[in-house]
Amino acid sequence: MVLREKIDSDPRPTTDITLIEVPTDDGAPRTGGLTFWLVMLTLCVCAFLSALELTCVATALPTIIEDLHGEEFVWAASAYALACTAFIPLGGDMAEAFGRPPAMLVALIIFALGSALCGSARSLPWLIGARTVQGIGGGGLLSVPQIVLADLVPLRQRGAYNGLISLTYAIAAAIGPLVGGGLAQAGQWRWLFYLNLPICGICGVLVIVFLKLRIPQGSWQVKLSRMDWIGNVLIIGSSSACSIALTWGGVVYSWRSFRVLVPLLAGLCGFGTFLLYESRVAKRPIVPFTLLSNRTSLSGYIQIFVAAIILLVAIYYVPVYYYQACKGATPLTSGVETLGSSMVIGPFAILSGLSVAKTNSYRVQCYLGWGLSIAGFGVMTLLRADSHLALGVGLPVMVASGAGILYTVTDFPVLASLPISQNARALSFYAFVRSFANAWGVTVGGSIVQNELKKRLPDNIPNVVANAGLAYSIVPEIRYLDEPLKTTVRIAFAESLKVTWQVMIGISAIGLLSCLLMRGIPLNMDVDDSWALEPEGKVEGPDSTP
């Protein structure tokens, strides 16, 4: 592998540096050989599994709820995301205490168990509980693979490999709605969950056979003592409370209801308590204060939070509120119409990652990503209910291109100014911030559409848009309305979306402004040998003494 020669005591020198070639213990480069690429295959399968679950179930959810004779559609949709977000930091903490392979195997087992329970659900409460179990495993699948990649690939070279994982995610996101819609229309929605089982099995075998990363020393009791249990409880409780408020707000209860305000305020106070505890009390914090105490890392976290919001708004509301509500597409057809946007994410992710490796810089790519996002939402404000479908399919491509860049490069400012020993904590918190922002994206977009529809729908339309969830549920009924009422309703949806895109321009501008916090720090060529890949067998790793 390649290491950066130390010029002076400054761990992050800004002067010219000399690169020297240093072999690994077995004489092979860290990022080469069959074993390495089989590990990369494992990471890509995990990304595929997580993305497919997130996208395909959303398309089939109306059919699932109808088949189970349920009414709590909100929790059927949100249980997975809530549990996934809340348990991401715990997955990173387990990876640090027990080692990467055990943490990934536990995540796969829990995810597979949840999938089996979902497929066998006989009632909606059963499905909601099973989706929660599945989400706990999904949290580990979001964080641990990124940590493994950081263990094996130096930061400067990581862009291309990040791009491969992003490409896998984009492919899964593109085919997910088609798979979900097809199986739902065929009355076979349970196979959406059962199909996860063989994929989990294959991934588990790959982890056991090829993921030979070093394992921390010590007994189970010692490893358990290394985990930040109080910090985990605080962040799980706080993120769950905020997610519950965001899920209920404007859908089940009014935003002014105490049922929304109490968990929201409790969650925000809990986050404050968590950060205070992590910075002052915790011996082994899951979010060390150093992650947020420098402006470059802080910029990266702000950027991924904003990027996740705007991408989720586009993913959720373009297919439903434009293709289906304005253009009369079926769920399956709307999935086909999103393919163009979904498929550009991967190529832009790979190109931006390669450019980081080539130029040893990430700032230009971040500025470009935000520029594309702002311009993309700007041109999307031109869409009308009677716009040609080609415009509706083509204009969102610009937003998707920006998202492909931002999802690949925003972790570079997070990691560039941190020591490599903080990789696991930094990436775990990065995955948490991205996942937590998803809930905000869905809520922000839903609230805007809800409020604008109330202003624009004619009086002879029943009060079915009292909240965002009901506004979503009337979309399939629009095609059955008589003219001119049908056209009036479609125009109302199109004009409401225009306001949504305008708000997204402003939110994207926040991401652009946060780039000003970044410094141009050279990307290091070091890796943490405490977590080295050992093709010849598993060896003991870092000391686990508390």
Q: In this model, does residue 539 exceed pLDDT 50? A: no
Grade residue 29 by pLDDT with cuts at 50, 70 and 90.
very low
Q: Which two tokens stand for residue 419?
A: 């020591």
326 phi/psi in degrees, rounded to 5 = -85, -35
Per DSSP, the three-state class of 105 is: helix
Instruction: Give DSSP secondary structure letters for 470-521.
Output: HHHHTGGGGGGSPTTHHHHHHHHHHHHHHHHHHHHHHHHHHHHHHGGG---P
For 268-307, what is each residue's pLDDT tens digit?
A: 999 889 888 888 888 888 888 778 888 999 999 999 999 9
Cα(502)–Cα(493) distance, rounded to whole angstroms? 14
- How do strand 19-21 and strand 2-4 relate by DSSP bridges? antiparallel
CATH class of 27-228+283-531: mainly alpha
**Per-domain residue ranges for the chain?**
27-228+283-531, 229-282
**Which pTM does this prediction carry?**
0.81
The per-residue pLDDT for range 371-420, each reduced to its tens digit, is: 999 999 999 999 888 888 888 888 999 999 998 899 889 989 998 888 88
CB 37 within 8 A of CB 45: no
Cβ 212 vs Cβ 223: under 8 Å: no
Please state, in angstroms and rounded to a whole number, the distance separating the CA atoms of residues 389 and 530. Answer: 54
**252-263: pLDDT as tens digits:** 677 788 888 898
Tokens 């996942």 appear where?
435
Helices (H), 153-249: 158-185, 191-194, 196-210, 220-226, 229-248
Q: Where is average pLDDT lowest: 26-30, 214-218, 330-334, 358-362?
A: 26-30
Tokens of 540: 């003991």
State the Cα angle at 419 between 37 and 33, rounded to 5°. 15
> Where are the alpha helices (H) located in 410-484, listed in sequence order?
411-416, 423-456, 468-473
168-182, 360-374, 445-459, 532-546 — most confident range: 360-374
